[in-house]
Amino acid sequence: MNYDDIINLSPPVSKNHKKMPLLSRAVQFAPFSALTGLDEQMNETSRLTDSRRELTDDEKNLLDMNIRIIENNIEYRPSVSIVYFIPDEKKSGGSYHKISGNVRRIEQSDGVMLFEDNQTVNLSDVVFIKIHN
């Protein structure tokens, strides 16, 4: 096709509407997301969590014994490594974490173990304790 007949014409001007300012014209070409929040929802759905494993009676007894050993030696600030479960705030399951350090005190009434660096672990979330020499 040959456009020689229209190539040099000026653009048409409306008699009913004023010319749109350049800034307003740019806005109409801005990105548009009809499904706002979809990306965040997809990321949340694809995020994996671990299920909380139920401890055996032997594992519970071993945990109780290690907690008593720590309590009986609390003045020495025993060095321990602990694996504990943190429930996920948004979906079922959670994740396992490990903490190492010196125990400052155990508060049985609150069910927490306090470390020298001010970290706190709920005793009900603990699944493994290793006491270091």
Domain residue spans in the chain? 57-131
Contacts of 105 (CB under 8 A, 6+ apart): 74, 113, 114
Q: Where are the alpha helices (DSSP H) in the chain?
A: 22-27, 38-46, 57-72
- Reported as half-sphere exposure (CB side, CA atoms, 13 A), residue 67 has a value of 20
57-131: which CATH number, 2.130.10.10, 2.30.30.100, 3.90.79.10, 3.20.20.10?
2.30.30.100
- pTM beyond 0.85, yes or no: no
Task: List the pLDDT tens digit at each of the 133 positions of the chain.
Answer: 788 888 888 888 888 988 888 877 777 776 766 677 788 888 777 778 889 999 999 999 999 999 999 999 999 999 999 999 999 888 888 999 999 999 999 999 999 999 999 999 999 999 999 999 8
Q: Are 132 and 70 in contact (CB under 8 A)?
A: no
Residue 30 is classified by DSSP as S
Residue 16 is classified by DSSP as S
Number of other CB atoms surrounding residue 115 within 10 Å: 18
| pLDDT value of residue 32 | 67
Helices (H) and strands (E) in the chain, counts: 3, 5
Phi, psi angles (nearest 5°) of residue 6 = -120, -10
| pLDDT value of residue 125 | 96
Closest CA to 120 of 90, 86, 93, 87: 86
